[in-house]
Amino acid sequence: MLKRLAAAALLAATVVPVSVVQAQRPSPPPGPLTSGFLCCNMRTYGDSISDINYDEQGTSIVAVGTPARITAYDFRFFNLDLAGKPQRIKNDYSRNLTLIDFAKRYVVTEDPKQKMATFPPAVSAAIRGGKVMPGMTREQVLMAIGYPVASENPSLDAPVWRYWRDSWSEYQVNFDDKGLVKAVVGDPVALSRVLAATP
């Protein structure tokens, strides 16, 4: 009997209350509460944006160059204010990036709309429409359709960037030796959504 009581007392002493476990949760990484602009056209589900940037029913576009201010960091996302509307951008598929580096992709200090004003009109129109066209630079592709997820695209210098319209529909942006778009490859539905009509 005494052995059972001693064992029960030892077990009770080693059980950590849930509140203590939660209190020991590590703090999110600190990061700069940067003000700037959204790097690229991103699709929101209302108050949440994923780095995969699916073109799904029910999403709407937050335009490249929208004023942006990071308000907080969490473990797999950061909160921000986009032109007065709270949002969060989730790192779903780019977890080989630190959260700070991930956030720096999306909130940039230079207004992309000022750069867009220097582009040929057809390129600027394609970017505003979330479309890609042959001859675009990598920077212009990023503005138009966002970053390819880092888990599948570890180097932005690669000749092919892989994107997904949704879970089943991949398309690829192919670059030539000069870093200009030479082709966009994918199924007809994906191409109809992402490929700009040629003049």
Q: What is the pTM of this model?
A: 0.84
List phi, psi (to 5°) of 83. 55, 40
2 inside domain? no
User: Is there a domain that residue 180 lies in?
Assistant: yes
Q: Please check whether residue 118 lies inside any domain of the structure.
A: yes
pLDDT tens, residue by residue, 23-44: 444 455 567 778 999 999 999 9
Q: From first to last of its 199 residues, what are the pLDDT tens digits of the chain? A: 545 544 444 444 444 444 444 444 445 556 777 899 999 999 999 999 999 999 999 999 999 999 999 999 998 999 999 999 999 999 999 999 999 999 999 999 999 999 999 999 999 999 999 999 999 999 999 999 999 999 999 999 999 999 999 989 999 999 999 999 999 999 999 999 999 987 6
Angle, helix 138-145 to helix 121-128, in steps of 10 degrees: 30
CA angle 142/144/149 to nearest 5° reads 45
Domain-located, residue 39: yes
The secondary structure of 127-167 as a DSSP string is: HHTT-B-TT-BHHHHHHHH-PPPTTT-S-TTSSEEEEEEET
Q: Considering the domain boundaries, does residue 24 fall inside one?
A: no
Q: Tell me, yes or no, whether 11 lies in a domain.
A: no
Residue 120 lies in a domain: yes
User: What is the tally of structural domains in the chain?
Assistant: 1
Structural domain containing residue 59: 35-194
Q: How does DSSP classify residue 180?
A: B
Task: Indicate whether 78 belongs to any domain.
Answer: yes
